[in-house]
Amino acid sequence: MTYPSRLFVALAAFGASSLHATVSITSFAPSVSSPRPLGTQVTWTPTATDSNSGPLTFQYSVSYGNGASSIVRDYYPGSLAAGAWTGPAFVWQEITEGAYRVQVIAKDFQSGETATASAVFTLQPVSAGGSFVVSPTANPLVALASAPPCPSGSSIRLTIRKVGGQAVEPSSLLACRPNLTSNIFAAGMYPSTAYAINYEVVTGSTVTKGPNPVTFTTGPLPSSIAFPTSTVVVPFGSQDEQTDYTVLHSYLAFVLAATDRLGNINWYYAAPGATPTSLITRPLPGGYMLTIQSGNAWNPNISANGQFLRKIDLSGNIIRETNVGVLQRQLLAMHATDFGVCGTVPLPAAIGSACLSGIHHDAVPLPNGYTIVNVAMEKIFPPGTQGDTTGLNVDIMGDGFLVLDQNYQVLWYFDTFQHDGGAPQLDINRPAVLGEKCAPGQPGCETLFLAGTPGVTTLANDWLHQNSLYYDPANGDVIVSSRHQDWLYKVDYNNGMGTGNVLWRMGLDGDFTFENIDNDPYPWFSHQHDAEIYNTSTGELTVFDDGNTRVAPPPIGLGSGNSRGMSLTVDETNMTVTPLLSQDLGYYSFALGSARAMGNGNYFFQPGDVTTTNSSYAMEVLPTAGTVNGTIVYNLQSAVSYRAWLMPSLYVPPPF
């Protein structure tokens, strides 16, 4: 049966049952006909009608063979012209051969009515007759390697070697599947360079190489992108972690990119759309990444920060996506009071009005396949709150986090405004330590929807400014970094069974005592980023201390100083914190930053925004035994970067 016939049958099946429905899908067709070779990018663009006022939204799901359907891109509004709705384009790419069913659901959230269409699309293998094929992709630094089927119970990986030069770290192992070819993205390669790419089949301790390596030459970096340059300040040497030679950068003003230790670019990602702002929150095993990307908010339809959570692969293909608009509706269905739709808040905004404005800063995978994602809210408080003197209702930016299932559907949520009554919880009357506020469009702030509306303060108080999440496997709770409170705090998540209460607050004026073994005049971190427990048995926690409060003028701070890389032993029984490392990094990073313990006992830190040089610095620190100090044994200067990671390859992220 040809593809057009299948599409006709699918359309007829839903059309017959929806002739009188308010919502109706009129077409759903791919950009190319089926079948096609695996790895082909196929664009699906549905059209539909809706007798309601809309907006009409579209969700795309895919199933393989007889398997269950998975949501790839959740409900997002289409565009209306001449009475017809066109869904947002769904760019789809798969790298396993077989028959797929691609489904679209059009839904009007005002009426609740839906219509569904689906079509079967077949992908054919690239490797045939035992051949090994390496094909280019849309990314000139990434290839698709296709190997013949390998035995069940074995695994396969790629080997990539620069012709006449060094080898790239091998890809991660992929389980062999009977009667199916193995297809892996080859990445970590320099532009305009020839590579010998092969595969290895691993069966127990036996490694069998493919008989015929393929030479593949990467393309040049696109001239349309202004790539940042990097400079080695302290060179890589024998005291550094020898297995970690890839530096992954989440640049703010450029694309996302990876370099080697010398600063040479060997991978990049450019976000789609007209507002391509994006952040990597975490690299994932196997060559995947969690990203937060900007775009248009559902209501009002304006460009806004952090509207999408996207999991991408090394080619830039979107594996899964959700957005703020559909998350708002899921939360409202759960009777979550502070996560409403910003564009529907009645004006003037009454005290207690609140809405979810965006996803920001962090998203973290959980061991069970769920994902935690950080979100921002605006809420209106009475005049005088947090010392405001304008006489207007006070706009306060708060935060929370959502726990999403494998299809990015909300399962559990934490709302800081529901835990703001003071110790031992958060305190709405404790303003940002340095009095931070946000104006509409201000860099470093989330998009504001209520500030400056009638009767509301023009500026929003940036109360918490959460910037990192960490799932504690020891007890299933979540540690949150609040930059503007100078606190880390732990939330009782308990793997979904928790109360949502704040269990403790760590930092100056918090619940812990700092064991000041080094007589530091300001031992606590402030305006910190990227807090993670490295060793759950010892309670070792790494954190990047930007130090804003510490370097602020007296009487608040000391009046000078640099950012620090810190490693702390946390005793939750006796409520003490003891420094293992408190390293002056030689630069003051006003914002951003990374911190992580490494496998060889060193530490990785990144001052992300050093304003005096408009740079970031990826640094490795060798600790000095018996002290809280160390030696900087590696330093790579590059463009301003939200976060960075030192890792063996793009396939193998550091543990977190």
Best CA proximity match to 396, nearest among 425, 359, 423, 430: 430
Place 655 in a pLDDT band, splitting at 50, 70 and 90. confident
Summary count for the chain: helices (H), strands (E) = 3, 48
Long-range contacts of 232-237 (CB under 8 A, 24+ apart): 232/261, 232/262, 232/263, 232/635, 232/636, 232/637, 233/617, 233/635, 233/636, 233/637, 234/619, 234/632, 234/633, 234/634, 234/635, 235/634, 236/261, 236/262, 236/634, 237/633, 237/634
Token pair, residue 397, equals 């930016």
- Beta-carbon contacts of residue 335 (< 8 Å; ≥ 6 apart): none
Alpha carbons 57 and 156: distance in angstroms, whole number: 41
pLDDT at 16 over 60: no
Alpha carbons 130 and 137: distance in angstroms, whole number: 22
Token pair, residue 177, equals 């599947």
- Condensed to tens digits (0 to 9), the pLDDT of residues 105-116 reads 999 999 999 999
Place of tokens 């089949």: 201
Alpha carbons 357 and 378: distance in angstroms, whole number: 7
Alpha carbons 430 and 510: distance in angstroms, whole number: 12
The reported pLDDT for the residue numbered 538 is 82
- Condensed to tens digits (0 to 9), the pLDDT of residues 612-628 reads 999 999 999 999 999 99
- Condensed to tens digits (0 to 9), the pLDDT of residues 402-440 reads 999 999 999 999 999 999 999 999 999 999 999 999 999
The reported pLDDT for the residue numbered 254 is 79
Alpha carbons 258 and 644: distance in angstroms, whole number: 9
- Condensed to tens digits (0 to 9), the pLDDT of residues 576-592 reads 999 999 999 999 999 99
Cα-based distances in Å from 240 to 235, 243, 245: 10, 9, 10
Cα-based angle 141, 145, 150 (whole degrees, multiple of 5): 155
The reported pLDDT for the residue numbered 38 is 98
The reported pLDDT for the residue numbered 623 is 98
Radius of gyration of the chain (CA): 26
Alpha carbons 620 and 44: distance in angstroms, whole number: 46
The reported pLDDT for the residue numbered 14 is 42
Q: Strand runs (DSSP E) across 252-338, as ranges?
A: 256-260, 265-269, 278-284, 288-296, 303-313, 318-323
SS3 letters across 190-202: CCCCEEEEEEEEE
Compute the residue count for the chain. Answer: 656
The DSSP code for 275 is: S
pLDDT at 29 over 70: yes
pLDDT at 12 over 90: no
Cα-based distances in Å from 74 to 48, 90, 310: 17, 11, 11
Q: Are the CB atoms for 564 and 615 separated by under 8 Å?
A: no
pTM of structure: 0.94
Laid out side by side, the sheet with 47-50 consists of 23-27, 47-50, 84-86, 79-81
Q: Is 416 helix (H, G, I), strand (E, B) or coil?
A: helix
Alpha carbons 50 and 84: distance in angstroms, whole number: 8
The reported pLDDT for the residue numbered 326 is 98
pLDDT at 292 over 80: yes
Alpha carbons 386 and 104: distance in angstroms, whole number: 47
- Condensed to tens digits (0 to 9), the pLDDT of residues 293-345 reads 999 999 999 999 999 999 999 999 999 999 999 999 999 999 999 999 999 99
pLDDT at 20 over 80: no
Place of tokens 């769920």: 370
The reported pLDDT for the residue numbered 563 is 98
Q: Are the CB atoms for 101 and 118 separated by under 8 Å?
A: yes
pLDDT at 9 over 70: no
Alpha carbons 74 and 330: distance in angstroms, whole number: 12
- Above pLDDT 70, what percent of the chain? 96
Mean pLDDT of 208-217: 96
- Beta-carbon contacts of residue 38 (< 8 Å; ≥ 6 apart): 94, 95, 96, 97, 123, 124, 125, 126, 146, 181, 183
Place of tokens 């990602």: 269
- Condensed to tens digits (0 to 9), the pLDDT of residues 513-550 reads 999 999 999 999 999 999 999 887 788 999 999 999 99
Place of tokens 């702002």: 277
- Condensed to tens digits (0 to 9), the pLDDT of residues 37-53 reads 999 999 999 999 999 88
Q: Is 5 helix (H, G, I), strand (E, B) or coil?
A: helix
* CATH numbers and ranges of domains, the chain: 3-124 (2.60.40.3880), 133-217 (2.60.40.10)
The DSSP code for 172 is: P
